[in-house]
Amino acid sequence: MKKTVTTDSRRNFLKNMGLTIGASMITFPAFSALSDSSDATAQQTDAVPLKPLNKDGKLGIALVGLGQYSTFQLAPALEQTKNVYLAGIVTGTPSKATAWKKKYGIPDKNVYNYKNFDDIINNKDIDVVYIVLPNSMHAEFTIRAANAKKHVICEKPMATSVADAQRMIDACQKNGVQLAIGYRLHFEPFNKRVMELGQQQVYGKVKSLKALNGFNATKGTLDMWRLDKELAGGGSLMDMGIYCIQGICYTMGKTPIAVTAKFMDNQHPLVFNDIEQGINWQMHFDDGVVAECSTSYAENMGDLSAVAEKGWWKLSPAYGYDGIKGETNEGKMDFPSVYEQALQMDGQAESFRKGQKSITPGEMGLRDMKIIEAIYKSARSDGKKVTV
Ligand code: NAD
């Protein structure tokens, strides 16, 4: 049976939620990002030499995969970035190459396809390769980019298995290049405030947390790789639930020790015949705190909340490109709207240039893959507790 969900349904959902880009104002918050202090960020990289700067003192980036996210978020963001610019593209579709070359003034020598991609090793214009392909292709292209001696940004989820995530980290280490994951919310002020509230115990110790993320993908007419387990690695957990895993970990500032999980009932078996429609799960921490999480491809939702000893907070919506709203027991949070992807790529490019590990390193993606595998393992055993 042909799968029948459009990328339009996803785009419309984001739009309806006020989550599309739209924000022309770009701000660079004065406070520095509070990084997730869990073990995922603890390792420091060996210093790599500073790369020479390209056009206007910026690093050159090549986008690999010119789909929705590259077209409507990353490329426009790269017109606003101050540390990095769109130097090249990698695409399997010649018509896209033509259109992008014209729109962004990309020279022929900086255009690659998936076959000749490895030649990028000889291209001095390109310092960073950004992998924006279906999830199961992240490992291959990250490893090829690392072997071509380029720093890598890889979209979430980092891979479709822990083993692949580890291979990606190993390849980057072997080649002396950096690996960062496209976790844009580490550069977004409302989510950064949540990191502070939780990790610095502004309202005391966190007692309970909740994270929900999903969208309604049940209506539509086109094929979509997200519904194909081989390409996506899984269902809503891989695509949307990963934001809940992130949100809970950066609120707590640590990694859960175990998870319990159950698949939701599949109400749309014709659509979700290869991947899960949704999962409810719990993340268990060493101090006894249990986070409640839920992800679905059949429901629009997107919250991150916590109750601490002396207060509470909630982001709703929490994970969008724009339009994030937040509240604490003291009132509404007041932060500017930012261009998340621009801040993310600028921040990551700066860390590459300085030879410092990104605040969203490959190890963080690996940690999340370990949690994801544990959640699937628990769900397959109908809720058995699985150690992370
Ligand atoms: P998309 O389907 O719009 O684009 C995928 C691109 O990969 C297309 O250009 C397609 O031509 C290309 N491709 C190459 N081989 C393919 C194959 N075998 N099957 C299907 N497509 C193939 O997807 P997208 O929404 O741009 O997502 C791409 C990646 O970006 C995913 O890993 C996704 O999780 C991630 N993403 C991240 C965010 C975020 O907010 N960080 C948002 C959207 C997507």
- Complete domains list, the chain, with CATH: 21-185+342-360 (3.40.50.720), 188-336+369-387 (3.30.360.10)
Any atom of ligand 1 within 6 Å of the Cβ of 155: yes
Contacts of 13 (CB under 8 A, 6+ apart): 215, 216, 300
Any atom of ligand 1 within 6 Å of the Cβ of 67: yes
- Point out the catalytic residue in the list 85, 112, 243, 250: 243
156 noted as active-site residue: yes
Encoded tokens for 173: 């280490």
243 noted as active-site residue: yes
- Point out the catalytic residue in the list 3, 58, 150, 156: 156
- pLDDT at res. 220: 61
Cα(223) to ligand 1 centroid in Å equals 13
Any atom of ligand 1 within 6 Å of the Cβ of 225: yes
Cα(251) to ligand 1 centroid in Å equals 28
Cα(155) to ligand 1 centroid in Å equals 9
- pLDDT at res. 219: 79
Tokens 């291979």, residue located: 167
- pLDDT at res. 19: 36
Tally the residues of the chain: 388
Q: Whose CA is nearest to atom 38 of ligand 1?
A: 69
Cα(69) to ligand 1 centroid in Å equals 7
Closest C-alpha among 76, 181, 66 to residue 113: 66
β-partners of residue 294 are 212, 280
The best mutation among 9, 95, 132, 135 to test binding of ligand 1, ranked by most ligand atoms within 8 Å of the C-beta, falls on: 132
- In the chain the beta strands, taken as DSSP E runs, fall at 59-64, 84-90, 111-112, 128-131, 151-154, 179-181, 206-216, 258-263, 278-284, 290-296, 298-308, 311-315, 326-328, 331-332, 386-387
Q: Whose CA is nearest to atom 29 of ligand 1?
A: 132
Any atom of ligand 1 within 6 Å of the Cβ of 135: yes
Residue 227: what residue type? Answer: L
Q: Whose CA is nearest to atom 44 of ligand 1?
A: 69
Chain segment 202-242, per-residue pLDDT in tens: 999 999 999 999 999 887 643 589 999 999 999 999 999 99
Give the nearest ligand 1 atom to 183 CA. Answer: 41
Alpha carbons 6 and 349: distance in angstroms, whole number: 33
Cα(349) to ligand 1 centroid in Å equals 22
Q: What average pLDDT does the chain have? A: 88
Alpha carbons 293 and 214: distance in angstroms, whole number: 11
Q: Which residues of the chain have pLDDT under 70?
A: 1-55, 220-223
